[in-house]
Each structure stands twice: as structure tokens, then as C-alpha cells.
Amino acid sequence: MTGAFGLKGEAAFKGVGIHTGAPSEVLVAPSEKRGLFFAFPGGIFPVQSAVADGTARGTTLIFPDGSRVMTVEHLLAALAGLEVWSALLTVSGPEIPAMDGSAEVFTEALIPLREPGLEVTPIAVAREIAFGDSRGGYIGVIPSERFEIACSISYDPSAIGTQVYEGSVSGDVFNDEIAPARTFVLASEIEGIRERGLGLGGSADNVLVIGDGDPLSSLKYRVPSEPVRHKALDLIGDLATLGRPLKGRVIAHRAGHRMHLELVRRIRRSLLSH
């Protein structure tokens, strides 16, 4: 068992979904049970009961009653990063609101509501689980006594290039170093994203747009190496779909939501085999 937090109050977030552009709202409230739960007219479901889809530039959860919620990763990252493992999320609309494209708005509201004293059993990996893809992406987890990440990305634009973020993830580290990092997009990708019916709620208020020729000095990064820190944020949020803290060192290179969620599936399968 390890120490974690519940909640002693509610926080409501309103805005538009970054992909749908539709008005969205989520109420984060205390839960009577340990775990992260989503409430719908058809019932209340633990996050790990959902089928997770990472193919639409974000993570969509499909619950047993057919309810769907898009772009859950930033809010789940805020909860997991702050070590809040008991909460009830009630969503109105098709998507979690984008807010400013990071997890900072969520963490600032949730930190004062944290209630210590929750005991949860983390998921500890017993052996290495690792795989890659045809595009040079790689992700894996190895046993560790704590939750650690090593995340790296490599892009051609000079404003990004190769970036690395690694370290143990605690509430303070997440809030200071990871939560402020915004969703980013290459300017050259925007047309294709819109053609897929995505990014309809994206704007300069919630997305860091990086031009192919932009020099690094021209960008106003909130935190050093902001793009890779946002990738770390996404990774933490996707791993939260396990429903419990993870004890392990996760290494991810050029990995996205699909690979994150496949790692979650493989971790679950490894638990069933022991």
C-alpha cells in the first residue's frame, strides 16, 4: 500500500473540446470508493472498465454503457500526477474541456482540494515489457520502486529537434515541471488534422503552434523543452487508465497515445499471468 489523496471538495471546469469545438463541462468530486470513476446516466464506471482508443490525436474512453469521452488525458494526468486516486468525474459534452491546452488549470484547482490519508495498492511490474513500431517509436516499462519516466521526442523543425525529459514523478514535480506544458502542433499538420474533423476547438489560447522554420528563440515556452514535457503529461494521463498508481520506470521514445495505451493493455495482461 502507498499513501495517496482523495478529494474534500468539488471543482468544475467549463470550456470547449479541443477536437470537437463543442461546449463541454466536467465536475470533479469526491468518490465514496478508491479509484477514478466516470458518472453517466447509464451508471458509474471505473476508468479501467473503459475501452481506450488513441487513434484520434488524443485518448477516447468508451464505457460499458456506450458512453464516450474524448481527450481525457490531461485531466487524468492532473489527478494521477497529483497522486489523487479517488475521484468521481461527471462529464457533460463529448470531450473534456481543453482549458489552456495543458494540465495547469486542473492542478491549480485540485491541489487545495486534496485530502491525505488514502491508501492504495500500486501496480508493480515484475518484468520488462517493451515493444516498438515501424516508425522508430519505442515504449517499455521495467521494475522500479517508484514511478519514473524517461520520455524523448525527435522532430525536424529546429524549434523542437530532439528533446528529453526524465525523472521520478511526484505531486510537486508534476505541478511545477509537467502540468504547464501545452498541447503543441506543427503548422504543417493543421490542415490534415482539420480534414480529419479534429482540432475544431484549437486556437492560440490552447495550442502551441510551431512553424517548420521557427527558431527556438522565437517561441515562448512556458517550461524548458515544453513539447517533450507535454508528451510526458500525455503519457502520465494515459497510464492513469490503469486505475491505480504504477511502480515502474517507463521509457518512451517517439511514442504517442496508441503506444501508451498498448503498454497499458500489456501491463494488464502481465498481471493476469502472475
DSSP secondary-structure letter at 174? I
Alpha-carbon span 187 to 237, nearest angstrom? 25
Q: How would you classify residue 170: left for phi > 0, otherwise alpha for psi between -120 and 50, otherwise beta?
A: beta
- Vertex 243 angle, CA 241 and 246, to 5°: 90
The active-site residue out of 74, 257, 260, 274 is: 257
Residue 156 is given by DSSP the state S
Task: Return the residue matching grid coordinates 473534456.
Answer: 96
Sign of CA dihedral 11, 16, 17, 23: positive
Give the single-character DSSP code of 181.
P
Query: Which H or E run contains 237?
Result: helix 226-239
Please name which of 265, 251, 227 lies closest in space to residue 132, comparing C-alpha atoms.
251
Catalytic: 260? no
Query: Which residues are catalytic, by number?
Result: 257
